[in-house]
Structure 1
Amino acid sequence: MSRNPRAGILLMILTCAVFAAQDGLSRHLAERYGVFMVVMIRFWFLAAVVILWTRARTGSLRAVRSASPLLQILRGLLLAGEICVMVWAFTLLGLAESHAVFAVSPLLVAALSGPILGERVGWRRWTAIGIGFAGVLVILAPSDGVIDPRAAVPLLSAAMWALYGLLTRLAARHDPAATSFFWTGIVGALAMTPAGLWTWTPMEGTDWAVMGLLCVTAAAAHWLLIKAYELAEASVLQPFAFLQLVFASALGVLLFDETVELHVAIGAAVVVGAGLFTLWRERRARLAATRETVS
């Protein structure tokens, strides 16, 4: 497929909007029926989608055999756990503050890329990482001198997402993207089923419609993300991923009566700025390495 960065960027912006809508739906349902049940149904739908999609593309499920199954299982478990933790954060802190803290995840990717992937992280990126974490402290700045322990929940989610992303890059050295996508849905569904069934609560008719919309937006968001990466490079698209913070915060204010306090807005701006700088440095390092390889 030919590259079209402008179309890729537009798809990335749409992806962020759909992900934000998914977050709002997740918060609404989790507050009524619990995190495990909602995430379980979501993964059931994703598993059905990846099975049908794989059979349509290859005609057989044998094509999704992994060269590193243990790594794929770990990825799937991490993603299922991360989604549970983040949805829990929505119920505790709301969309705006949860995403403000979660925005630190690209900095965690940069910090962990050295020990996990063997990539070199220079002093400039380490400085940006430190500044980003200072921004998190600004977000968490308490008025009474005591940091709310609930803020650790979205921070844990950010760490799990960063680790999941790095393991996905590691898995890409052995398996194609279609294989990783398949394992993500299947492992997540299997992992969430016991906890989801244990906490099952009868759902009202109207909420089944909301649940169906959540499943559709979840699948649509992942499909849009894949299409965006087909049209443009990750280094071009990644800065626009921060728009999910903007969209989610807007939904929190409009639909859930959340308020974005000044220290949260300032801290989020610091975290996003540090993240953008880190992505820019990573892109420069990659371009420099490419030039050395060519020469």
Structure 2
Amino acid sequence: MSITKSETNPRLGVLLMVLTMFIFAMQDGISRHLAGEYNVYMVLMIRYWVFAGFVILWSMRAQGGLRRAMRSAQPKLQFFRGAILAVEVIIMVIGFVKLGLVESHAMFASYPLIITALSAPILGEKVGWRRWLLVLIGFVGVLIILNPGGGVMSPAAIFPLASAVLFALYGLLNRYVARKDPSSVTFFYTGIAGAVVTTLIGMWHWEAMTLTDWAWMGLLCATSTTGHYLLIRAYELSEASAIQPLAYFQLAFASILGVVVFGDAVRINVAVGASLVVAAGIFTFLRSQMKSRNRA
């Protein structure tokens, strides 16, 4: 879908981005509830079924239709990238159940810094000393969150950390496949690969759900599809440099939800460490945008 200059609306794009982060935070809360009651693989399998249906319908309406969306110059890599995201989502939801929303999101917020660190060896991009310094600051923030010397470090911390690494790899692969495939193709493979992977895992773990939880499952699927649609619209209406830092609102919304609904505690070291991670992530993004403009 192409967007002309007259169709841009930066203010609406910002509002949609904030709303999207709120919806994604609610999605995380519902995922935590359902995964705490039922098998996480089954929950995410159903969620991906609906998401894949949304992707197919979206692709059918896009320019070139479904046939164009399926035609990739690198289908194996596209499928692998979508599979990584599905595994990342599974690991992150397990982290929600074992560690809570607050600490899981605080550590997951380090993924932009991991992208920066891995962009040099994987994509061959040049990373200057300033961005390496920001990566180091973010790493210090993660250590503060973990509090390894305090005797309270949870083994469950491996889940959000592993999720952040996988999501960073997914983000790098997004940039790599974009060299040959349009975004419509990438979006199609994201939904289809995720549905295939979660079905292969989740089909062995089916459990009967109560009528109430089926309603929660419906709401989970609705938040997933609505959130992705609004995210697409936000990037259509506004420049990425203006709205990408707003993604950290998800951390704030998820933390509030975790405290109010699930009784998660916000420890001082988590608040301080998360602040360092978020600040380093925002400055890293702004620095990369500045360098991109200078090259243009």
| Fold match by TM threshold 0.5 | yes
Equivalent residue runs for 1:1-295 within 5 Å: 1=3, 2=5, 3-57=8-62, 60-64=65-69, 65-142=71-148, 144-145=150-151, 147-290=153-296
SS at match of 1:256: coil
CA distance in 2, matches of 1:220, 1:87: 19
How big is the shift at 1:59? 7.2
CA separation of 1:169 and 1:252: change in aligned 2, threshold 3 A: same
CA separation of 1:45 and 1:279: change in aligned 2, threshold 3 A: same
CA distance in 1, matches of 2:10, 2:23: 20
SS at match of 2:184: helix
CA distance in 2, matches of 1:119, 1:142: 32
- Write the letter of the residue equivalent to 2:109: A
RMSD after superposition? 1.3
Q: TM-score if structure 2 supplies the norm length?
A: 0.95
CA distance in 2, matches of 1:114, 1:234: 22
- Write the letter of the residue equivalent to 1:49: F
- Write the letter of the residue equivalent to 1:282: S
Count of matched residue positions in the alignment of Structure 1 and Structure 2: 290
CA distance in 2, matches of 1:116, 1:240: 26
SS at match of 2:62: helix
How big is the shift at 1:176? 1.2
- Write the letter of the residue equivalent to 2:45: M
How big is the shift at 1:101? 0.3
CA separation of 1:144 and 1:60: change in aligned 2, threshold 3 A: closer
- Write the letter of the residue equivalent to 1:229: Y
The 8 Å contact of residues 142 and 148 in structure 1, kept in 2 or not, is answered as no
Q: TM-score if structure 1 supplies the norm length?
A: 0.95
SS at match of 1:198: coil
SS at match of 2:125: coil
How big is the shift at 1:143? 6.8
CA distance in 2, matches of 1:240, 1:59: 32
Give CA deviations for 1:20-50 in whole Å, capped at 9, x if unaligned.
Answer: 0000000000001121011100110011111
CA distance in 2, matches of 1:142, 1:161: 24
Structure 2: state its 5+ residue gaps: none
The 8 Å contact of residues 12 and 224 in structure 1, kept in 2 or not, is answered as yes
